[in-house]
Structure 1
Amino acid sequence: MLETLRKIVQEVNAAPDLESVLDVIVRRVQRAMRTDVCSIYLLDQERERYVLMATQGLNKKSVGQASLSLDEGVVGHVGQRAEPINLEDAATHSSYTYIKGTGEHKFHAFLGVPIIHHRSLLGVLVIQQKAIRKFDEAEEAFMVTMSAQLAGVIAHAEATGSLTQVAGQEKSESDRKFEGVSGCIGVAIGPAVVMTPLADLDGVPERKIDDIKAEITKFKQALAQVRRDIKKVGRSLAKRLRSEERELFDVYIRMLDDNALAGEIIARIKEGQWAQGALKLVIGEHVKQFSLMDDPYLRERATDIKDLGRRMLTCLQESGPALSEIVFPENTILVADELTPAMLGEVPTEKLMGLLSVNGSGNSHAAILARSMGIPTVMGAVDLPYTRIEGLPVILDGYSGRVFVNPSDDLEQCYRDIIREENEVNAGLEGLKELPAETTDGYRMPLWVNTGLVTDVARSLDRGAEGIGLYRTEIPFMIRDFFPSEYDQMETYRRQLEAFAPRPVTMRTLDIGGDKPLPYFPIQEDNPFLGWRGIRVTLDHPEIFLVQIRAMLRAAEGLDNLRIMLPMVTNVQEVEESKKLINQAVDELREEGHVVNQPLIGVMIEVPAAVYQVRRFARRVDFISVGSNDLTQYLLAVDRNNPRVAGLYVSYHPAVLKALQFIAREAHKENVSVSICGEMAADPGGAILLMAMGYDVLSMNATNLPKVKYAIRGVSFERAKDLLDRIIVMDDPDKIHMMLRKTLKDLGLGQLPRPTIPD
């Protein structure tokens, strides 16, 4: 049965649309189960009915016509109970309802299992037989397994709907909506531009072209290069391989003949598809055919086809224009399977309007950088058919995490009104730059910024930042092909320190691992967030740590505004060892004639183990800083990059709030200042709570700083403490969030969290 299941899932995954998906399922399941009937009823949310959408065995004319209400028939009963129902004679069941025209009166045995995806009921998968019998446990188990395996595919196909394959074809259904999670608030409207990873066939977007002749020439040049490469490899290995193994290279060459793969690809190009898209479609069809074969040897040929496809794609990508040469349209919405920090720099800043990622979450590193740049972003739109939206108009709603493809004129106008409201609010906040973040009863709250890019400096100062609470030093490492030298690092750090002097600049030592790998220093781990990251890496590589510390100290010469922060500490030994290396760097530089001062040293509280050692750390360092993003992730055991559990990542979870309050109290017992540099500080409601908890500094992305300042200036410190007292005893994150929103609204700050969004 496992092999049967694998084949069905494989064939279903390759189906181009919802209708094909459902047809494959009913045909293959009916054959595998040797039953008379297999049908799928999908739940129509708007009509609140189960509609027969595919069948093998019932009257085909009933498809799309036959339906049942939510509490009607045995199908409705399966949906209500959300569990399988196995009947030897369905007609005798109290819920049985006969649907005229289906012909199901001839069938007695009935087994229905719910199709559920992420807690949402999609429909019911049914098999039936003429005989009066009960399906056995093995058959029921297979159906449950089949339903669970297919639920995600059906959900994706449903979400994709009637979206056209490429721009320029028949207009797609308007207002196609896809759900993700917010990465950065704001609204963006513009054409989708899909970023294709190198040699990734699955990520190639479908795109129409006008100059077919030029595209065929481009493909043939790539084809010739692949042929030359294969022949070269074959010759170099000729002496090591037996004759039958050498023949494999001849097979590769023959597969590239005009009457084989190459001919099919050229035919697709002649239909108007660009070369990379034509290659993807043809290779995909052949891989599917070979993968479904019973013969293991032939099935393995799918790997050969994929290899050839990747080789040709690489040549096509290399022969195409460099990213720097691509002409991006105005208001570009950059789309990718998985956004990376490096991608953000590929599009000219003045043309980049929004970011959209199929994978990742609102707290992934790319999303954090997007917030620092103020670019509306949606992450984790897992059902988005991103390769098919190239060039299509998109509305990106960074408030709700929604994405609309091919929006109607009415919807677009609605969102343009929201953009206008946003601009009005932001214009009203510009006058706050020179004013302090001070409550109505005189409590002063310092507001610092998180930075990482050179462009962050001007934006931060323009918004009235009083210091840098977190400078992400890994960014200069991530945009290079090798470790930057001490001099290169020093120049980069100097720009940050000089621009903010005499204001304090907190530089976090190299924090790689987790979702921040370096291409030239790969860290392969099954569980990277619990692995080799942060201070663990740099203490294992003191040569990297010392070079960075020396660069920081040299950059701060004559400025004296450097603070060094250690990430991911879990014990005092890591702090002691780090301080020893920092002292060594200070001594070395002084011996070399540099005039360097001993910097302030702090630690980041990011893991539960550190929460309960705050006082021990505080006795050894000059300041404490909380990284609330990672702390929330570790307290709640939620991978913040996993869209499947994004809904469980809740900043206002009672456990998170109590931990944050505990940290502030413990640090102050040792008379050490405590700041917070996670995204919670960038939320106006969260900032009010953190202020009430006693945090000495709030650090955030520059984009949100004016809104946070406006919120603080609109509330008294006593009102903030009263709000905290009420919230800290609550046990429902949603109710906590609602109370924060209501409080902001009562204070006349209702426009800060988000504008009114249409459903």
Structure 2
Amino acid sequence: MLKVLRQIVQDVSTAPDLNAVLAITVGRVQKAMKTEVCSVFLFNQDSGRYVLRATMGLNAAAVDEVSLAKDEGIVGLVAKRAEPINLEDASSHPAFHYLDVTGEELFHAFLGVPIMHQRKVLGVLVVQQQERRRFDESEEAFLVTLSAQLAGIIAHAYATGAIQTAGEKGEVSQLRSDLRYDGVAAAGGVVIGEIVVASLPSDLDSVPDKQTADVALELTQLEQALLAVREEIGLVAENLAGRLSKDERALFDVYLRMLDDNGLPLEMRAKIEQGSWAQGALREVILEHVRAFSAMDDPYLSERATDIKDLGKRILQHLQEDNNGRHLDYPENAVLLADELTPAMLGLVPEGKLSGLISITGSGNSHAAILARSMGIPTVMGVVDLPYRRLNGAAVIVDGYSGRVYINPSVELVQAFSRIVIDEQVVTDELRVLRDLPAITKDGYRLPLWVNTGLAADVPRSLEQGAEGIGLYRTEIPFMIRDSFPSEQDQLESYRTQLQAFAPLPVTMRTLDIGGDKALPYFPIKEENPSLGWRGIRVTLDHPEIFMVQVRAMLRASEGLDNLRIMLPMVTSVSEVEEALRQIDRACEELREEGYQIKKPPVGVMIEVPAAVYQTRRFARLVDFISVGSNDLTQYLLAVDRNNPRVAGLYASYHPAVLKALDFIVHEAHKERKHVSICGEIAADPGGALLLMAMGYDVLSVNANNLPKIKFAIRSVSFARARQLLLSVRSLHDADDIHQELRQSLKAFGLARLTRPLMPDQKIPPC
């Protein structure tokens, strides 16, 4: 059964759409379980009913025609209970509901299991037999296991198929209005724009659907690509002829036969003549054949799937080369959409036209996301269910605050978000006057505001916004954009630029923080659970040659400026801090012996894991300052990967446990009279900034784009009122209640402009 289960899941995972998913499921399950009937009922949001979407054994005419209410029939009972129901004679059950067009009166044995995804019942998978019997435990276990395996695939396929209509495939004018997809908020802001799908070179899976207005041109390009590939294969076969056996040479003949005019090209031409562009036609034909061959039981035939995909990539490469010379017309408000967004893709869009970014995969801490935040471009990552191939040219709203994407938004939704965009621009313009003013409360409490940076482009923006220092300089970014470790001299030049630009203001440089979701292409770290693995200080202490080169570069870059602060990431024990301090001392001594005029800079640690929280005071005795990395601390406290869209809803910066930990840290550090800063999303939120100020944090470090709002919030209240707000929040025990309290308080403080109105079905966002 395990082999059968794997084969079904594999076949379903490569199905092109929801209908194919369901057809494969019912057919394979009926065959595997040797039952007369297998059916799938899926819940329809519009009608509120469970609709028969596929069957093998019942009347085919009933598909999409028969439906049951939530509380109707045994199917409804399975969904209501969210548990399997196994009956010897379904017709005698009180909940049995007769459906005359299905012919189900012939069947007695019934087993139904819910198809559940993220606590929601998507539908019910049913098997039936004429014989009166209970399905045994192994059969029930098989169906339950299969349902669990299929739930995510069906959810994804259902989302993909949600915009499929009877109209032309890929016609954005046929999309349903206000299709909403959830992802991970990567860069704040709202944009209303038009999607441009970016595809990776020679990647068939990422090729989008497009309609063509010039069929003849697409056919010509296909023929040119086919001719080029035939010549390539012929040349390779000729060059290798003397080194291959007869059987091995036959493989090239197979390739050429596939490219014969009556082979794959015939199907591609047909799809182009139906209106598809050449690359889309190629993708559909190739992947359909790959699926067909992969499903074959014969090992030799199933291996041919690899050959077909290789051919497809070769043809696609030539088609993409042909298109490189063509001018791409980007709209003024282009929203770049990619399966996997890369920094290089950001350069595809002409300057001034890139307004938003969406990525199917990726995290809020990916290099592309960091660049997006630096550039102030609203971005949503990890929108796993978005049917990106079909969306080129579609209207879209990107909500970078909540991590939501709205496809083909209605006039009403566009108007609602347009008000947000206008209000944000008005607030931004008004806050420019605060640039040279301090963040000081109405009763005279002053709170320095620093910035988080990592790119040279951040420097002018940070200074324009009135930053008083750098609370976090991510040194790993210069490492990430190279193909080898930078030398000491390379690092020195990079660090000197930052230090000079901000001198005499302090610049806090975090030592190399790789691992987790921040990988270097030339130093791969592959682990089962990277977030709990080899990352941060653990890596650099294991590689002192890397750590020493970086520290030497920092110290040399600070010579004569003396505004450097060094910060150690991901510390969990005193021994780690002591070892790092010994190496920093050694670097200082070495450089002085070499003739450099070096002063040992202040050294601090980042509190990012629960183990460090409870050692704050001990750390404070060893170092010069404490800095809290609230993003990582929150995910570790809540055991929630903040970059995983499936659990993103559980990531709560205002969780009571998080706030208690933040409160504890600052008080423990102050017992040793040590300066405490915080860098993270909570500090970049007006409500969070007021809470942190009231807790006693000495510095807030935020993204340059958020700094004016935080400064405005601080200047609009008294420290006494911020303390009252903190006391109110401490009495609450739920993150949503705390959000609501913050929103209401900000409005009471006259800061309503810094809060965003809620969209339909939207949880309370950060203020």
Q: TM-score range by the shorter chain?
A: over 0.9
Question: Is it true that 1:189 corresponds to 2:157 in the alignment?
Answer: no
Distance 1:254 1:419 in 2: 56
Deviation of the 1:333 alpha carbon: 0.8
Amino acid at match of 1:390: N
Number of the residue aligned with 2:154? 154
Number of the residue aligned with 1:392? 394
Pick closer, same or farther for the CA change 1:140–1:607 going to 2, 3 Å.
Answer: same
> Which of 610, 621, 624 is residue 623 of structure 2 equivalent to?
621
Helix, strand or coil at the partner of 1:194: strand
**TM-score when normalising by structure 1:** 0.92
The within-5 A match list for 1:713-732 is 713-728=715-730, 730-732=732-734
Q: Report if aligned partners of 2:365, 2:517 keep a CA contact under 8 Å in 1.
A: no
Number of the residue aligned with 2:735? 733
Amino acid at match of 1:714: S
Amino acid at match of 1:32: A
Helix, strand or coil at the partner of 2:324: coil
Distance 2:279 2:257 in 1: 21
Distance 1:240 1:615 in 2: 71
Helix, strand or coil at the partner of 1:116: strand
Distance 1:529 1:346 in 2: 32
Helix, strand or coil at the partner of 1:703: coil
Distance 2:581 2:548 in 1: 11
Pick closer, same or farther for the CA change 1:316–1:584 going to 2, 3 Å.
Answer: farther
Deviation of the 1:569 alpha carbon: 2.1
Number of the residue aligned with 1:711? 713
Distance 2:689 2:446 in 1: 13
Q: Report if aligned partners of 1:364, 1:640 keep a CA contact under 8 Å in 2.
A: no
Deviation of the 1:320 alpha carbon: 4.8
Distance 1:570 1:327 in 2: 52
Question: Is it true that 1:499 corresponds to 2:508 in the alignment?
Answer: no
Question: Is it true that 1:635 corresponds to 2:637 in the alignment?
Answer: yes
Q: Report if aligned partners of 2:441, 2:715 keep a CA contact under 8 Å in 1.
A: yes
Number of the residue aligned with 2:45? 45
Distance 2:97 2:231 in 1: 66
Pick closer, same or farther for the CA change 1:135–1:263 going to 2, 3 Å.
Answer: same
- 1:91-138 deviation line (CA, Å, top 9, x unaligned): 221222223443323322221111111111112122222232222222
The within-5 A match list for 1:536-615 is 536-615=538-617
Q: Report if aligned partners of 1:182, 1:379 keep a CA contact under 8 Å in 2.
A: yes
Distance 1:230 1:533 in 2: 45
User: Which is worse superposed, 125-134 or 690-699?
Assistant: 125-134
**TM-score when normalising by structure 2:** 0.91
Helix, strand or coil at the partner of 1:202: helix
Deviation of the 1:258 alpha carbon: 3.4
Helix, strand or coil at the partner of 1:190: strand
Pick closer, same or farther for the CA change 1:81–1:510 going to 2, 3 Å.
Answer: same
Q: Report if aligned partners of 1:363, 1:640 keep a CA contact under 8 Å in 2.
A: no
Deviation of the 1:13 alpha carbon: 3.3
Pick closer, same or farther for the CA change 1:562–1:122 going to 2, 3 Å.
Answer: same
Number of the residue aligned with 1:108? 108
Number of the residue aligned with 2:764? none
Number of the residue aligned with 1:248? 251
Helix, strand or coil at the partner of 1:353: strand
Distance 1:200 1:737 in 2: 43
User: Which is worse superposed, 158-167 or 646-655?
Assistant: 158-167
Amino acid at match of 1:476: P
Q: Report if aligned partners of 2:341, 2:359 keep a CA contact under 8 Å in 1.
A: yes
User: Which is worse superposed, 703-712 or 527-536?
Assistant: 527-536
Distance 2:579 2:311 in 1: 51
Number of the residue aligned with 1:383? 385
Deviation of the 1:26 alpha carbon: 2.9
Q: Report if aligned partners of 2:110, 2:127 keep a CA contact under 8 Å in 1.
A: yes
Question: Is it true that 1:305 corresponds to 2:308 in the alignment?
Answer: yes
Number of the residue aligned with 1:141? 141
Q: Report if aligned partners of 2:172, 2:393 keep a CA contact under 8 Å in 1.
A: no
> Which of 176, 180, 183 is residue 180 of structure 1 equivalent to?
183
Number of the residue aligned with 2:62? 62
What is the Cα-based RMSD across aligned positions, in Å?
2.8
Pick closer, same or farther for the CA change 1:298–1:509 going to 2, 3 Å.
Answer: same
> Which of 747, 752, 755 is residue 753 of structure 1 equivalent to?
755
Amino acid at match of 1:535: I
Deviation of the 1:384 alpha carbon: 0.5
Helix, strand or coil at the partner of 1:470: strand
Deviation of the 1:448 alpha carbon: 0.7
Distance 2:476 2:313 in 1: 31
Question: Is it true that 1:645 corresponds to 2:647 in the alignment?
Answer: yes
Deviation of the 1:18 alpha carbon: 2.9
Amino acid at match of 1:651: S
Q: Report if aligned partners of 1:193, 1:390 keep a CA contact under 8 Å in 2.
A: yes
Deviation of the 1:214 alpha carbon: 4.8
Distance 2:299 2:505 in 1: 67
Number of the residue aligned with 1:91? 91
Pick closer, same or farther for the CA change 1:709–1:183 going to 2, 3 Å.
Answer: same
Distance 1:696 1:438 in 2: 12
> Which of 253, 259, 264 is residue 261 of structure 1 equivalent to?
264
Pick closer, same or farther for the CA change 1:647–1:193 going to 2, 3 Å.
Answer: same
Pick closer, same or farther for the CA change 1:73–1:643 going to 2, 3 Å.
Answer: same
Q: Report if aligned partners of 1:342, 1:479 keep a CA contact under 8 Å in 2.
A: no
Number of the residue aligned with 1:660? 662
Distance 1:593 1:328 in 2: 55
Distance 2:596 2:420 in 1: 54
Number of the residue aligned with 1:3? 3
Helix, strand or coil at the partner of 2:24: helix
The within-5 A match list for 1:347-366 is 347-362=349-364, 366=368
Deviation of the 1:285 alpha carbon: 0.9
> Which of 499, 515, 518 is residue 516 of structure 1 equivalent to?
518
Pick closer, same or farther for the CA change 1:137–1:321 going to 2, 3 Å.
Answer: same
Pick closer, same or farther for the CA change 1:270–1:397 going to 2, 3 Å.
Answer: same
Question: Is it true that 1:273 corresponds to 2:290 in the alignment?
Answer: no
- 1:40-95 deviation line (CA, Å, top 9, x unaligned): 22223343322233333334443333332222221221111100111111222122
> Which of 443, 455, 460 is residue 458 of structure 1 equivalent to?
460
- 1:156-206 deviation line (CA, Å, top 9, x unaligned): 233231347765576222322222232233221112122323443222222
User: Which is worse superposed, 186-195 or 362-371?
Assistant: 362-371
User: Which is worse superposed, 55-64 or 493-502?
Assistant: 55-64
- 1:496-555 deviation line (CA, Å, top 9, x unaligned): 222222211111122222111122222222322223322233333333333333332333
Distance 1:583 1:213 in 2: 71
Helix, strand or coil at the partner of 2:505: coil
Amino acid at match of 2:448: P
User: Which is worse superposed, 677-686 or 493-502?
Assistant: 493-502
Pick closer, same or farther for the CA change 1:537–1:228 going to 2, 3 Å.
Answer: farther
Amino acid at match of 1:54: A
Pick closer, same or farther for the CA change 1:184–1:281 going to 2, 3 Å.
Answer: same
Pick closer, same or farther for the CA change 1:236–1:524 going to 2, 3 Å.
Answer: farther
Distance 2:657 2:639 in 1: 12
Runs (5+) with no aligned partner, structure 2: 762-767
Amino acid at match of 2:726: L
Q: Report if aligned partners of 2:184, 2:644 keep a CA contact under 8 Å in 1.
A: no
Distance 2:729 2:383 in 1: 32
Deviation of the 1:269 alpha carbon: 4.0
Number of the residue aligned with 1:201? 204
User: Which is worse superposed, 410-419 or 79-88?
Assistant: 410-419
Number of the residue aligned with 1:80? 80
Helix, strand or coil at the partner of 1:533: coil
Q: Report if aligned partners of 1:683, 1:708 keep a CA contact under 8 Å in 2.
A: yes
Distance 2:173 2:661 in 1: 55
Number of the residue aligned with 1:36? 36
Distance 2:710 2:378 in 1: 18
